A and B are shown apart, each in its own frame.
Chain A
Amino acid sequence: AQSVTQLGSHVSVSEGALVLLRCNYSSSVPPYLFWYVQYPNQGLQLLLKYTTGATLVKGINGFEAEFKKSETSFHLTKPSAHMSDAAEYFCAVSETNTGFQKLVFGTGTRLLVSP
């Protein structure tokens, strides 16, 4: 079975500072990895995904993530935090069992942005 681990349930940064949210995965097959964001009282919105090819993936809202096989990591970064980035972020791995695909999520990291 595949899984993801998100280190740090809460991350606090100042506006304009670097954002780094950590995700490590466990997978017996080449992983397909996703980052989703959840704003208060809303559903999940896809930020970016890694399938194959380029290991540096650019997403929406200035976020990017780098797939590092040697470290089994897929950390999410943004060079300069904005107040509107405050939300819950989930890393997920796509698992395909016989005939269907499901997402296996981490426990999430809440990003707090202070002025």
Chain B
Amino acid sequence: ETGVTQSPTHLIKTRGQQVTLRCSSQSGHNTVSWYQQALGQGPQFIFQYYREEENGRGNFPPRFSGLQFPNYSSELNVNALELDDSALYLCASSLDTSGRAREQFFGPGTRLTVL
């Protein structure tokens, strides 16, 4: 069973640029959630994708967007990067979208640095 993978591991961008982060969900999982973890903080929910549609969003501006593909892999896109976007971005996959007891399986994350 393959776990959640993310690419790239690290990324350095400058303010105003755009970035795309990628995530492959665990085998059989149809739901992907993205979280932002700033230094010294807990992860913050960005949004969730289920069957290729965004079905839930946290308190993040529209320049944070995403996609989910038929194989359930996902992308996180951030436009007009700001210094505060520097963080570890975590992808988590799970089976089914609802159900509060569902475990979310996390990938190793992508460390984004914005200069």
Q: Which A residues lie at the B interface, using CB under 8 A?
A: 32, 34, 36, 41-46, 49, 51, 90, 92, 94-97, 99-108
Q: If the complex has contacts A43-B109, A45-B106, A101-B102, are A107 and B41 also in contact, measured as CB distance less than 8 A?
A: yes
Q: If the complex has contacts A90-B42, A105-B42, are A100 and B50 also in contact, measured as CB distance less than 8 A?
A: yes
**B24 CB–A CB distance under 8 Å:** no
A42 to B103, CA, bound (A): 18
A97 to B94, CA, bound (A): 16
Count chain B residues whose beta carbon lies closer than 8 angstroms to a beta carbon of A: 30
Q: If the complex has contacts A43-B108, A102-B56, are A108 and B41 also in contact, measured as CB distance less than 8 A?
A: yes
A58 to B93, CA, bound (A): 23
Residues of A within 8 A of B40 (CB): 107-108
**B113 CB–A CB distance under 8 Å:** no
In this complex, what residue of B is CB-closest to A29?
A: B100
A102 to B45, Cβ gap below 8 A?
A: yes
Tell which of A41, A49, A100, A107 touches B98, judged by Cβ atoms closer than 8 Å.
A100
**B30 CB–A CB distance under 8 Å:** no
B33 to A105, Cβ gap below 8 A?
A: no
A70 to B38, CA, bound (A): 32
Q: If the complex has contacts A43-B108, A46-B103, A49-B103, are A96 and B98 also in contact, measured as CB distance less than 8 A?
A: yes
The A-contacting residues of B in range 30-82, CB under 8 angstroms, are 33, 35, 40-45, 48, 50, 55-56, 58
